[in-house]
Amino acid sequence: MASVSVRRTFSPNPHHRSISSPSSLRTRGPTSASIPYHPPLLLRLLIFFFASGIVLGLTVFSSTYEQHPEPEPDREPVIQSDHRPDKLGMKQLNHVPEQKLIIVVTPTYNRAAQAYFLHRLAQTLCLVPPPLLWIVVETGSKTSSETASILRRSGVMYRHICCKHTSGEVKDRGVHQRNKALDLIEHHRLEGIVYFADDDNIYSLELFDRLREIRGFGTWPVAMLTHDKSKAILEGPVCKNGQVIGWHTNEKSKRLRRFHVDMSGFAFNSTMLWDPDKRVHLAWNTIRQLDTVKEGFQETTFIQQLVEDETQMEAVPSDCAKIMNWHLHLDYRDVVYPNGWHLGNNLQPVVPLKL
């Protein structure tokens, strides 16, 4: 890279111009053709050392600040052996821990509270240290401009897709939407921690730090409201020393469900989706949510595709004693609201000014 700029004779950059002087001296222009010019040996040596100094300097500079994943093989030994201060710099860069990618999957659909929910989630996600990819899946055959504009202004790296698959019988409308996101993750082999974050839940920032501690499959308890909203209940693992030792649940069907986890109470390494060695079961060719299961069984039937039993689960954090997100089932389905929360015309004054 540096050697290319040395050869560039007419670079507007003053540094480049000074480097290029040796070559321009050797070039014979039409006027100087009859008078060959040979600089004295000392001058040539000086120019040579000056130029090679700049070449080395630029090489060090570029590899320190641009973090080339693979430094040019012939340059690397020079940096490592000759420049002690920069060797220190390289060391520091190597010690910056590589942050894991968090892949947040959010199914969403059009209703009065959608703008409120998406803004709230976007404002949480924009505070999470990157890298984070937010995959937002809408229903219908095309994405809405209202959602697009919220996502665009969120400051979060996102992918906005839609899912037109509709089946009248689906108990949980998010199933096909989440599967659409899993298709995308698997197709592009996106490597990171996958988390299903519905738009109506509330998430603490600590949760996202904890997600980055998960290696395979992690789970934690989630706080919820009962259906009549009269009390708060917890659902999820009971843990000790990083191991799941039991479950806390309020479901009457507790005998029937294998795992008692909320959709927002677990996360997993995306490599499990396509690498059979990373999960225990080989019975499933693809890991997807099932649209045929009874209400309340969606989570457990999905998790059963990823892990065999509790020994393969990681407790998040190790004692699972912290509530990090809330699933309040607060929704406002039949509320009438202005389209896109945009006022096409002025409102009719209810209290007009007396002029």
Residues in binding site: 200
Q: Which regions of the chain does DSSP assign to beta strands (E)?
A: 102-108, 132-139, 157-163, 193-196, 202-203, 217-219, 222-225, 232-240, 243-248, 266-269, 314-315, 325-327
Which residue, 261, 257, 263, is CA-closest to 248? 261
Among residues 333, 313, 336, the alpha carbon closest in space to that of 266 is found at 313
3-class secondary structure, 248: strand
Nearest to 268 by CA among 220, 304, 219: 219
Minimum distance from residue 100 beta carbon to ligand NAG (Å): 4
Stretch that binds ligand NAG, among 53-61, 190-198, 240-248, 333-341 (CB under 6 A): 190-198
Instruction: Say whether residue 147 binds ligand NAG (CB under 6 A).
Output: no
Restricting to residues 50-69, name those near ligand NAG by CB under 6 A. Answer: none
Is residue 335 classed exposed, middle or buried when 0-12, 13-18 and 19+ CB atoms within 10 A define those classes?
Answer: exposed
Q: Which stretch binds ligand NAG (CB under 6 A): 50-58, 186-194, 235-243, 251-259?
A: 186-194
278 binds ligand NAG (CB under 6 A): yes
Return the C-alpha torsion angle 271, 272, 274, 277, nearest 10.
100
Output 191 or 309, the one with its CB closest to ligand NAG: 191
Catalytic residues: 299
Length of the chain: 355
Q: Which residue is nearest to ligand NAG (CB)?
A: 269
The token pair at 15 is 């540094």
User: How many residues line the site for ligand NAG (CB under 6 A)?
Assistant: 8
Separation CA 306–CA 219 (nearest Å): 12
> Token digits for 56?
């080395």
Cβ of residue 157: shortest distance to ligand NAG, in angstroms?
A: 16
When asked if residue 189 is in the footprint of ligand NAG (CB under 6 A), the reply is no
Q: Does 211 bind ligand NAG (CB under 6 A)?
A: no
User: Looking at 128, 132, 133, 193, which residue binds ligand NAG (CB under 6 A)?
Assistant: 193
The residue from 71, 192, 218, 221 that contacts ligand NAG (CB under 6 A) is 192
* Binding track, positions 97-136, relative to ligand NAG; x by CB under 6 A: ---x------------------------------------
Interface contacts to ligand NAG, rule CB under 6 A = 100, 191-193, 215, 269, 271, 278
